[in-house]
Amino acid sequence: MKHSRPLLIALVVFILCLCSGLAKAAHPARIHYIDVGQAESILLEFDKAAVMIDAGGEQTNDAQQRTHLINYLNTFFQGRSDLNRTIDTIIISHPHIDHTMTLMDVMQTFTVKNLIDGGQSVGSGIQPLMAARTWVNSHGGHSFTVTRADTIQPAFFNPALKAIHDGESDVDFRLLGGANGCTNANNDSIVVVLTYKTSRFIFTGDAEDISDATCSSGEIQDLLQRYAGTNTLRADVYKVDHHGSANGTDANWIGAISPKISVISAGKNDPPHRAPNQFHAWQFGHPRESAVRIIEQGTSQTRTPKTVTTMDGVKQVHNNRNIAKAVYCTCWDGDIVIDGSTLQVRTAH
């Protein structure tokens, strides 16, 4: 009995140290590719901050698609109460409605500290983007413009993203593409490279491989030329350009990225997702079978084989397509979450 008090004290100290260690344990980084139908929205989860790339939505008869992003974020913040329902930074790749449709819903439901976009004044999704600029500036936040000219400056960095890196040394951002005054806003996409520890993720917006009336080359060609002979474009995980369209991926592009895993954000092509408007995978023909073949060939890892559908063209379904390479799509897999360290993939279905 005379030794019970020292043992009890030692036990209490051990428990307190254990609890202190658990309280300080870092939250693992996770990349959430949220199923917003024929649109795009990605959540980057870190130990001390959350960042979003795009806040799109789909215009179909599926009511679930219209509310899923906000519901997903609400559930996320319930599990990450330490973040106080705050999104540190939202990056809008370009001002098309499938990338901005739910932006103001996000702004008005959660605290957003920073907004990054290309500063454009036109585009199918410009109204939500302009409203968001006004909102963040009037609610104590900051808005930033990123152009192609900015990204080619050797010392270029964005203050909001640098602040995240300063607080979490394992997290680093590099912005590559940016607004260039192209007639086709897809070629104005802000391209983001995230490095987390030793893993690299590339987010490519809707960058295309074809020129338009204003820009003499597509954004993909521009980036390939600018970073030729470097590893700047290389990434372990590739967010596929332009929802897996025929003009969003070519062999040179995926060869430069050389991904282990590829993720497409696109909508379903079944009858409930073909109406009421012409804004769905069925109408656009996404993801295109020709692009998926190139993506498969350039993706090194494998996944549990799955039978899916792709599109041979506008309103042309390619049925009974087997996927065995590590190519994922929100249209096949629902929400997709990738661990930033292990690259383990979790899908909704």
Question: For residue range 139-194, what is the model confidence (pLDDT) as tens digits?
Answer: 999 999 999 999 999 889 999 999 999 999 999 999 998 999 999 999 999 999 99
pLDDT tens, position by position, 94-116: 999 999 999 999 999 999 999 99
Residue 19 has pLDDT above 60, yes or no: no
Residue 315 has pLDDT above 70, yes or no: yes
Whole-angstrom CA distances from 319 to 269, 289, 311, 331 are 11, 10, 8, 14
Environment class of residue 280 by beta-carbon count within 10 Å: exposed (0-12), middle (13-18) or buried (19+)? buried
- Residue 189 backbone zone (phi > 0: left; psi -120 to 50: alpha; other: beta): beta
* Structural domains in the chain plus CATH codes: 28-347 (3.60.15)
Give me the pLDDT at residue 266, please: 97
Mean pLDDT, residues 321-341 taken together: 97
Helices and strands: H and E segment counts in the chain: 12, 16
Residue 341 has pLDDT above 80, yes or no: yes
pLDDT tens, position by position, 32-91: 999 999 999 999 999 999 999 999 998 887 777 778 999 999 999 999 999 999 999 999
Residue 281 has pLDDT above 90, yes or no: yes
Give me the pLDDT at residue 22, please: 47
DSSP annotation of 141: -
For residue 15, how many C-alpha atoms fall within 13 Å in the half-sphere facing its CB? 6
Give me the pLDDT at residue 156, please: 93
For residue 30, how many C-alpha atoms fall within 13 Å in the half-sphere facing its CB? 16
Average pLDDT of the chain is 92
Taking the C-alpha atoms of residue 317 and residue 248, their distance in angstroms, rounded to an integer, is 19
Taking the C-alpha atoms of residue 193 and residue 104, their distance in angstroms, rounded to an integer, is 25
